[in-house]
């Protein structure tokens, strides 16, 4: 696809939308930020102004660059005014399929015929969204991570009909914004990062729900044994337990019982204890988070890494991404010091398969099923990554 991008429309002025608009403006693009009411779009615009001021105060950009970026952003409510002459339209509306489908149906009638549509969805089907439009070959996922101004990763997700040129264009767009694109070749629920992270936090919840570990033990293991930036329950609180359950429900519906949300998570949502945003989740944010380093357990680490290894194998088998891309995505998008494939190699695939088999026999839970390719690798002494030369 031979195209030059000058203007970007961002639909949705919430935390993701206004963040994407800000990075696009900082990269030099003319941006129209759109939401359904003047109040919502103005609130998003004011958040951009505040963020640019902070970047300037910290000398991360100059005062002139901040002012120039802000001048490139026009807040609008009318969809046609936002999208009619945009080269790329970035959709960042609420993560509900019916809402997104309605937006695309309306957008198709006002956007330029040559415009590229991208969705910031974190888990919904790119193919289904593209099917609402008349341009599935010019439609793909462009999944930023929160907050977009700071997070480096962008998952560029192919739908079943996405043209190679569209993926190239969107990857170049991400690079021009100072991001690192990781291509996701299969339109699988959860893409790469959420497909690994959300089952990880779900497994932590199952361990506690079954009385096999405490919240402190799970989070200490993740932090101090596996060197993850935060524990499973810290992560659930950070992203919102309701958001985690929503993604799990989608994975459960699309991929089967291995992704059944743990009742412990559902109970928190039902009680309104959604995590940091509500002041309380698995931790009380009036008291702060204290994860004891001496509570880490090696057997808990084995289970957590084994579950991630199964997800990596499933993604590789489906040609969604290779092990190197999966590791890069988790390092950039979730702050892993080592990616899940490298972690699995370090612990030994044979040991992890044995862990999964033991737990499958003990619990009869399908989340411990071993992908055939993972078992084959383990039995042959293989790894996800080639061994480093000695």
Q: Catalytic amino acids?
A: 122, 143, 155, 194
Beta-strand ranges (E) seen in 36-135 are 73-76, 88-91, 116-119
CB burial class (10 A; 0-12, 13-18, 19+) of residue 19? buried
Whether a cis peptide bond, with omega within 30° of 0, leads into 147 is yes
Provide the pairing of β-strand 7-11 with 88-91. parallel
Helix axis angle for 323-334 and 193-209, nearest 10°, is: 70
User: Considering all CA atoms of the chain, what is the largest pairwise distance in Å, rounded to the nearest integer?
Assistant: 63
Distance CA 206, CA 212 (A): 9
Please report which residue ranges of 146-240 form alpha helices under DSSP H.
164-176, 193-209, 215-220, 232-239
Q: Which residues contact 218 (CB under 8 A, 6 or more apart)?
A: 204, 207, 208, 231, 232, 233, 300, 304
Tell me how far apart the alpha carbons of residues 67 and 279 are, in angstroms, rounded to a whole number: 35
Dihedral angle at the C-alpha atoms of 8, 12, 17, 18, nearest 10 degrees? 90
Q: Mind giving me the DSSP string for 30-42?
A: EEEEE-SSHHHHH
Question: Phi/psi of residue 74, each to 5°?
Answer: -115, 115
On whether the CB atoms of residues 381 and 348 are closer than 8 A, the answer is no
Rounded distance between C-alpha atoms, residue 308 and residue 193, angstroms: 11
Report the C-alpha gap between 331 and 341 in whole angstroms: 11
Cβ of 317: how many Cβ atoms within 10 Å?
12
| SS3 state of residue 69 | helix
Decide: helix, strand or coil at residue 10: strand
- How far apart CA 117 and CA 142 sit, in angstroms, is 9
């Amino acid at each position: 696809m031979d195209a030059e991008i000058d203007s970007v429309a961002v639909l949705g002025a919430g935390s993701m939308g206004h963040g994407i608009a800000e990075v696009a403006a900082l990269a030099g693009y003319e941006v129209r930020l759109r939401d359904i009411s003047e109040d919502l779009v103005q609130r998003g615009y004011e958040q951009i102004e505040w963020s640019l001021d902070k970047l300037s105060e910290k000398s991360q950009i100059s005062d002139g660059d901040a002012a120039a970026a802000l001048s490139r952003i026009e807040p609008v409510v009318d969809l046609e005014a936002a999208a009619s002459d945009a080269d790329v339209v970035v959709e960042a509306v609420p993560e509900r399929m019916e809402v997104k489908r309605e937006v695309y149906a309306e957008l198709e009638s006002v956007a330029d015929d040559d415009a590229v549509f991208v969705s910031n969805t974190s888990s919904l089907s790119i193919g289904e969204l593209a099917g609402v439009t008349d341009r599935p070959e010019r439609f793909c996922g462009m999944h930023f991570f929160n907050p977009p101004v700071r997070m480096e990763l962008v998952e560029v997700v192919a739908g079943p009909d996405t043209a190679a040129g569209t993926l190239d264009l969107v990857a170049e767009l991400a690079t021009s914004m100072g991001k690192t694109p990781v291509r996701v070749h299969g339109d699988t629920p959860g893409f790469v990062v959420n497909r690994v992270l959300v089952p990880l936090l779900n497994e932590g919840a199952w361990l506690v729900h079954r009385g096999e570990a405490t919240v402190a033990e799970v989070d200490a293991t993740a932090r101090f044994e596996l060197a993850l930036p935060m524990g499973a329950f810290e992560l659930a609180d950070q992203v919102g337990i309701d958001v985690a359950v929503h993604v799990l429900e989608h994975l459960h519906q699309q991929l089967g019982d291995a992704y059944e949300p743990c009742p412990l998570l559902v109970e928190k949502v039902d009680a309104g204890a959604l995590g940091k945003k509500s002041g309380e989740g698995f931790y009380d944010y009036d008291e702060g988070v204290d994860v004891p380093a001496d509570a880490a357990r090696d057997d808990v680490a084995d289970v957590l890494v084994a579950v991630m290894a199964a997800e990596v194998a499933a993604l590789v088998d489906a040609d969604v991404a290779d092990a190197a891309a999966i590791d890069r995505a988790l390092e950039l998008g979730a702050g892993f010091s080592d990616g899940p494939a490298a972690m699995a190699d370090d612990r030994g695939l044979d040991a992890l398969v044995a862990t999964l088999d033991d737990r499958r026999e003990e619990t009869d839970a399908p989340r411990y099923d071993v992908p055939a390719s993972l078992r084959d690798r383990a039995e042959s002494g293989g790894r996800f990554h080639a061994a480093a030369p000695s």
